[in-house]
Structure formats: structure tokens, C-alpha cells
């Protein structure tokens, strides 16, 4: 597996981990063509600081258990408004919802492609009406 494919797989796993812990509006941006320091941004948010911590912990555990690295550096665990997990080839941003609205990273990076991180089965399940 090429390094880029592996990085994309780890970023997708980080997004799935965040989503599984009720991360809000989780997305993966492919920033590699415009940002030399990393390939992907995973962005998610939570309505409270407890969930921000839970999501960050789940992302780290799932990426590592899936054969990925541990973060090179993690910042923001003191106040839990914006936890930044730097994996080198991808960066995970876990925001408190109000902080995400303030910084608007999606708007800042609106010109880069978004990577589909859900599997075909997950997309189909999300479209099914709840019973």
C-alpha cells in the first residue's frame, strides 16, 4: 500500500471513530495539493467538552488499533475547545461546536476536495429511514 493510500485510510478511520462517538458534521479535507505539511484534515465537533475529549480519545485508540501511528503532538486537551491531533501526514481537529463556528475551517479550505470517508454500506445505512 502506498503511503498516500495508508494516510487516507487512517484519516478515514479517524473520521469514522469521531462519527461513532457522535461527532457533528465530520468531514475529511484533502489539503495535500495546497499544504505541504500534511495531506488531510479531519474536522469534527461536539456540543460539550466531555464529548470533545471522548472523541479525541476514540480517534487516537482507533487509528492506533488499525495499524496507524500515535499523534506526533496533541494540543488543546487543557480547555477542550479545539483539540488538534497532529499525525504528520494528517491532522485531526476536534472542536467544541461554538469554536468550530468561530474559526470556520471549512470556509477557509472551501477550495480543496472533500474525501469520502464512509463505506458504501455506511452511506446506504445513513439513507435508510429510522424504524
State the Cα–Cα distance between residues 18 and 21, nearest whole angstrom.
Answer: 5
Terminal Cα-to-Cα distance of the chain (whole angstroms):
40
CA atoms within 13 A on the CB side of 92: 36
Looking at the chain, list the stretches that DSSP marks H as alpha helix, in order from N- to C-terminal side: 3-20, 49-65, 97-103, 105-108, 120-127
Are 43 and 103 in contact by the 8 Å Cβ rule? The answer is no
pLDDT tens digits, 103-122: 999 999 999 999 999 865 56
Q: Provide the whole-model pTM.
A: 0.89
Write down the mean pLDDT value for the chain: 91
Which domains, from first to last, does the chain contain? 3-116 (3.30.460.10)
pLDDT tens digits, 28-75: 999 999 999 999 999 999 999 999 999 999 999 999 999 999 999 999
Amino acid at each position: 500500500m502506498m503511503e498516500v493510500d495508508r494516510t487516507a485510510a487512517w484519516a478515514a478511520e479517524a473520521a469514522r471513530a469521531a462519527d461513532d462517538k457522535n461527532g457533528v458534521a465530520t468531514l475529511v479535507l484533502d489539503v495535500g495539493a495546497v499544504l505541504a505539511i500534511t495531506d488531510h484534515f479531519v474536522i469534527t465537533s461536539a456540543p460539550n467538552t466531555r464529548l470533545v475529549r471522548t472523541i479525541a480519545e476514540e480517534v487516537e485508540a482507533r487509528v492506533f488499533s488499525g495499524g496507524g501511528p500515535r499523534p506526533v503532538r496533541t494540543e488543546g486537551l487543557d480547555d477542550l475547545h479545539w483539540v488538534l491531533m497532529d499525525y504528520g501526514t494528517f491532522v485531526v481537529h476536534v472542536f467544541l461546536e461554538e469554536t468550530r463556528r468561530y474559526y470556520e475551517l471549512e470556509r477557509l479550505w472551501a477550495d480543496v476536495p472533500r474525501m469520502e470517508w464512509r463505506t458504501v454500506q455506511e452511506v446506504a445505512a445513513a439513507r435508510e429511514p429510522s424504524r
